[in-house]
Structure 1
């Protein structure tokens, strides 16, 4: 029933007595009929992008409701009766008009995912226990009370104005995913390095200039994003993250790679575009399990013969560099499937390879 220009649900909705899922997103509904209370088996309700200015209190009678999505409306607060929705597990309140965090959700004991991104919230209560998505709000600081959120597994604060993370975050030892991208953080939050279950960390778009020794102890990290910071070197401490599968260091000021990168035997994806490389870093050729390498938007002119050691490589991006001719060394990469080679300033790459050297399944992207 989504995208149907509906302005209301008919009272006859009660006849669908066995309904489990109801999706009426992208309509013009502003209220719900009392008859909806008779949908006693309803477990998932999607009311996104409608005209609700007040929370429909009739939903309190839907005792089996587990998922409720009200994103893209005009809600400013939640009623006290919402505490009765004891089985609610997923609540989406993104893109509304909340300026104060709706504390009532802290009493929903089964709630495991709460999304309040794109609101006007500036502070948080200490009682939160669930996965919290609060991207693109107006939060300037994270209170030390965050240490009380010991059961949190996911925290997303992307696109706020946070300048620092209190050391007390180390007490939130169940966190597995942390997104602090596009804030105003200048010092690496060392408290995160004590989170023994942290696997995903995103610090893109901040103002970090150094990587602390503490990070090297985060051996459980699998995914690390440090793009668009102020890093001038590839830290040896990162190379001690032996389980890292994905590393993004794009759009920094890096010009060299340390030999210790050879220790990163699990690394499959390495993003280094938009840095200051003038020479292809031979140290990368020790990464035998690397599948994706992005070195676009640098100043590289040639590829060393050692690149043939990248026995698992499938995708190479060398676009916007300084190659004058096709790097013939790439023809030794039998696993390569996609190569991007468009160059800077209108220069063209001479295709100086014979037909038998072009891989059967290799997609080549040249500037025409």
Structure 2
């Protein structure tokens, strides 16, 4: 079988491999997953053509140092074993692109892992890692780094050097702070931080311009304030179901950009400590944020809620109801609405109770443009923009 290139032996009851396996010098793919292997023969080093080695779901407690001689290896799957450490020689696998080590017993990674310059996927979920080597910064081609369910208390600042990283999972660790350099991960699209001990997020998180999925469970962290820079994450479109952003009663800051993109129509009464409420829309868009209701405990103290609208000529923020005995003065300007306010209010009047402000969005883009033009022409003329009842 000297010319054999592919050998599938997965899902058997193999407890050991014969030393003769080292004679398969042309073997490129070897799948030994779901067996009962406790060790590998040193002769495996003779598989000089091997590109893919699957050893998932076995009972391996260690790897032979000779594994570093598999110079053509591109994919190594060691999930669900009993590995407590990796040999330093693993750093010699310079062509390795995919390394999976889920569910082992690793407590440390060898610094030589930084030599895997072609690595694109590194999966280390469900181990016992307490720290990462600073040499991880050398994994310049890394795109996926999964580290959930470990014991990490901090990340090295060098993690900010992973400029090609797109997917970073750090949930279920012991992180209390993130390095500011995380803002350098300019290509990051997914960031998961659930179930840590984070007390704050660095303002640099707002530099993650390509972030699309951000999973951060406030209930399982210790965060009380979201940095204002988070509103810059304009591509963010997926947050967890039953969004925990809105479940903490000690949350002090939130951005409507988060709310509008997820179709929230009201702020819950649990946001008792909310003191800063950012609204930012951009003039090159024609969208409306239909945030319907503010809780009674908000807006009753002057300057308690600060509504900040920047570059907002055409976009409309649509508030149906603002509770409380008085309408804060800072809510009575920077408002715009097309058409006749009175006629639009008619259908709502039977349900009105107390003082409310209604601000209606344009019906379409063209009407919005006409409204802006009209507003510019009638700057000094009296125009009813808001009706207070």
Relative to the length of structure 1, the TM-score reads 0.62
Say which of 93, 106, 126 aligns to 1:121: 106
1:310-330: CA deviations, max 9, x gaps? xxxxxxxxxxxxxxxxxxxxx
Task: Number of aligned residue pairs: give it.
Answer: 271
Residue equivalent to 1:139 = 129
Contact residue 44 and residue 66 of structure 2 kept, 8 A: no
| Secondary structure in structure 1 of the residue aligned to 2:155 | coil
C-alpha RMSD over aligned residues:
3.8
Match in the other structure for 2:54: 69
Asked whether the 8 Å contact 2:142–2:162 carries over to 1, the reply is yes
Q: Is 1:110–2:131 an aligned residue pair?
A: no
Q: 2:69 aligns with which of 78, 84, 87?
A: 84
Q: 1:28-39, aligned counterparts within 5 Å?
A: 28-33=13-18, 36-37=21-22, 39=24
C-alpha offsets along residues 4-54 of structure 1, whole Å, 9 cap, x if unaligned?
Answer: xxxxxxxxxx39x5553x332222102234554565553222211211111
Distance 1:47 1:269, change over 3 A: farther
Gaps of 5+ in 1: 1-13, 291-303, 307-368
> Does the Cα contact within 8 Å between 2:195 and 2:221 map onto a contact in 1?
yes
- Work out which of the two has the higher radius of gyration on C-alpha atoms and give 1 or 2: 2
| Corresponding residue of 1:239 | 231
Q: Secondary structure at the match of 1:127?
A: helix
Match of 2:216 in 1: 226
Aligned to 1:261: 257
**What TM-score do you get using the length of structure 2 for normalisation?**
0.59
CA contact (8 A) 2:211 2:236 kept: yes
Query: Partners of 1:260 and 1:268 in 2: how far apart?
Result: 10
Question: What residue number does 1:300 align with?
Answer: none
Deviation at 1:108, TM superposition (A): 0.7
| Pairing 1:193–2:198 present | no
Structure 1 CA distance, aligned partners of 2:223 and 2:23?
Answer: 58
Q: Give unmatched runs, 5+ long, in structure 2.
A: 280-284, 290-317, 321-389
Shift of the 146–18 alpha-carbon distance from structure 1 to 2, 3 Å rule, reads closer
For 2:205 and 2:134, the matched residues in 1 are separated by 21
C-alpha offsets along residues 145-164 of structure 1, whole Å, 9 cap, x if unaligned? 43344443322211111111
How big is the shift at 1:81?
A: 2.3
Mapped to 2, the partners of 1:76 and 1:287 lie a distance apart of: 59
> Aligned partners of 1:275, 1:50: CA distance in 2, in Å?
55
How far the C-alpha of 1:260 sits from its partner, in A, is 3.8
